[in-house]
Chain A
Amino acid sequence: MKRFIIISALVLTLTACEKVIPFNTSLSQPEAVLNAVPSVDKQLFVYFAHTHFFLDSTNNQPINDVDMVVTVNGTDYRPTSLNRCNYFFDYTVRENDDLAIRIHADGKEINAHTVVPRAPRISQPVAVTNDTGAFHLLIVNFNIDDYADHKDYYCITLRQRDSGSRYSHYFERYDTIDTTYATFFLCNDKDLIDPFIAANMSVGGFSPFNQLLTTDENFDGENHNTTLTLIRLTDTNEVVPYIHQYTLDIETVSPERYRYLQDIANATSMLQLLTEPPAVYSNVNGALGIFAANARRTFPLITLTGGTLPPPEEPSNKHRR
Chain B
Amino acid sequence: MYRHLILYALLLIPLGLSAQHTISGTITDHITGETLIGATVLDSQSGKGTTTNANGRYTLTLKNSNATLRITFVGYEPIYDTLHLKGNVTRNYSLKPSIQLKEVVVRAQRVNSRESSQMSALEMPVEQLKAVPVLFGEADILKAIQLLPGVQSGNEGTGGMYVRGGGPDENLFLLDGIPLYNVNHMGGFFSAFNADAVKNVTLYKGSFPARFGGRLSSVLDVTTNNGNDKEIHGNASIGFISAKLNVEGPIIKEKTTFCLSARRTYADFLLRPLVQRLATDVDGKAKLVAGYYFYDLNAKVTHTFSDKSRLYATFYHGDDDVYTKVRTESSLAEDQYLDFANNWGNLVGGLRWNYVLGPKLFMNLTTSYTQYKNRMKVGIEKTAILDDGSEQVSTISGNYISSIYDLTERLDFSYTPVPDHNIQFGTYYTRHWIRPTVASGSIDYFDQIQMNNAFQMDTTLQEDTVRANEVVLFAEDDWSINDVFKINYGLNVSGFGVEDVFYPSVQPRVSGRALLGENLSLKVGYAYMSQYMHLLSTTSVSLPTDLWVPATKRIPPMKAHQIAAGACYSTDLGVELSLEGYYKHMTDLIEYKDGATSFGSTVGWEDLVCLGDGWTYGFELLAQRNYGDLTGWVAYTWSRTTHLFNRPGQELNNGNPFPAKYDRRHDFSIVLTYKFNKNFDISGTWVFSTGNTATLAMEKYPVASDDPDAYNGTPHMANTLSHVSSRNNFRMPNYHRADISVNFHRTFNQRKSNLPESEEQKTVWRPKMRRTINISVYNLYNRANPFLTYTSSQYSYQGYSKALVQLSIFPILPSIAYTLYF
Binds B, one of A67-75, A145-153, A259-267, A301-309: A259-267
Q: A131: nearest residue on chain B (CB-CB)? A: B450
Any A CB within 8 A of the CB of B596? yes
A209–B717 Cα distance when bound, in Å, is 11
- Set of chain A residues within 8 Å of B450, measured between Cβ atoms: 131, 134-136, 236
Type the 1/0 row for B326-338, where 1 means its CB is closer than 8 Å to any CB of A: 1011111000101
A21-B594 in contact (CB<8A): no
In A119-152, the 8 Å CB interface with B consists of: 130-131, 134-137
A264–B724 Cα distance when bound, in Å, is 14
Any B CB within 8 A of the CB of A202? yes
A55–B696 Cα distance when bound, in Å, is 12
B597-A19 in contact (CB<8A): no
CB proximity of A228 to chain B, nearest CB, Å: 13
Interface size of A by CB at 8 A reads 100
CB proximity of A61 to chain B, nearest CB, Å: 11
Interface residue from A1, A130, A184 paired with B451 (Cβ < 8 Å) = A130
B329-A274 in contact (CB<8A): no
In B753-795, the 8 Å CB interface with A consists of: 784, 786-787, 789, 791-793, 795
A57-B445 in contact (CB<8A): no
Interface centre among B396, B457, B603, B722 (most CB of A within 10 A): B722
Q: B698: nearest residue on chain A (CB-CB)? A: A28
A51-B723 in contact (CB<8A): yes
A56-B704 in contact (CB<8A): no
- Set of chain B residues within 8 Å of A206, measured between Cβ atoms: 600
Any A CB within 8 A of the CB of B398? yes
A28–B332 Cα distance when bound, in Å, is 53
CB proximity of B723 to chain A, nearest CB, Å: 6
- Set of chain B residues within 8 Å of A83, measured between Cβ atoms: 708
Any A CB within 8 A of the CB of B750? no
Any A CB within 8 A of the CB of B656? no
Any A CB within 8 A of the CB of B803? yes
A27-B595 in contact (CB<8A): no
Any A CB within 8 A of the CB of B703? yes
In A1-54, the 8 Å CB interface with B consists of: 1, 3-4, 7, 14-23, 25, 27-28, 30-31, 33, 35-39, 42, 45, 47, 49, 51-54
A178–B329 Cα distance when bound, in Å, is 5
- State the total of A-B contacts with C-beta under 8 angstroms: 267
- Set of chain B residues within 8 Å of A166, measured between Cβ atoms: 709
CB proximity of B788 to chain A, nearest CB, Å: 10
Any A CB within 8 A of the CB of B804? yes
- Set of chain B residues within 8 Å of A178, measured between Cβ atoms: 328-329
B715-A51 in contact (CB<8A): no
Any A CB within 8 A of the CB of B718? yes
Any A CB within 8 A of the CB of B695? yes
Any A CB within 8 A of the CB of B805? yes
B706-A54 in contact (CB<8A): no
Q: B454: nearest residue on chain A (CB-CB)? A: A137
Binds A, one of B176-184, B357-365, B672-680, B726-734: B726-734
Any B CB within 8 A of the CB of A63? no
- Set of chain B residues within 8 Å of A21, measured between Cβ atoms: 732-733, 786, 789, 803-806
Interface size of B by CB at 8 A reads 99
- Set of chain A residues within 8 Å of B390, measured between Cβ atoms: none
B789-A279 in contact (CB<8A): no
B712-A236 in contact (CB<8A): no
Q: Which residues of B contact A (CB under 8 A)?
A: 274, 278-279, 287-288, 326, 328-332, 336, 338, 380, 382, 396, 398, 439, 441, 443, 445, 447, 449-452, 455, 457, 461, 538-539, 543, 545, 592-597, 599-603, 607, 654, 695-706, 708-709, 711-712, 714-715, 717-719, 721-725, 727, 729-730, 732-733, 784, 786-787, 789, 791-793, 795, 797-798, 800-811
* Nearest 3 interchain pairs by C-beta: A278-B595, A28-B698, A55-B800
Q: Which residues of A contact B (CB under 8 A)?
A: 1, 3-4, 7, 14-23, 25, 27-28, 30-31, 33, 35-39, 42, 45, 47, 49, 51-60, 83-86, 88, 130-131, 134-137, 166, 177-180, 182, 184, 186, 190, 195-196, 198-200, 202-204, 206, 208-209, 229, 231, 233, 235-237, 257, 260, 263-264, 266-269, 271-272, 274-280, 288-290, 292, 294, 296, 321
27 contacts between A and B (CB under 8 A): A19-B784, A25-B797, A25-B798, A27-B698, A27-B729, A31-B699, A31-B723, A36-B704, A37-B705, A38-B706, A47-B702, A47-B708, A47-B711, A52-B701, A54-B698, A130-B451, A237-B331, A237-B332, A268-B703, A271-B599, A274-B539, A274-B599, A275-B538, A275-B592, A277-B594, A278-B596, A296-B706
**New contact pairs (20) apart from A47-B708, A57-B715, CB-CB < 8 Å:** A4-B279, A15-B811, A16-B809, A42-B706, A53-B699, A54-B802, A56-B801, A57-B714, A57-B801, A60-B700, A88-B708, A134-B450, A136-B451, A180-B338, A182-B380, A195-B607, A236-B447, A268-B717, A268-B718, A275-B597
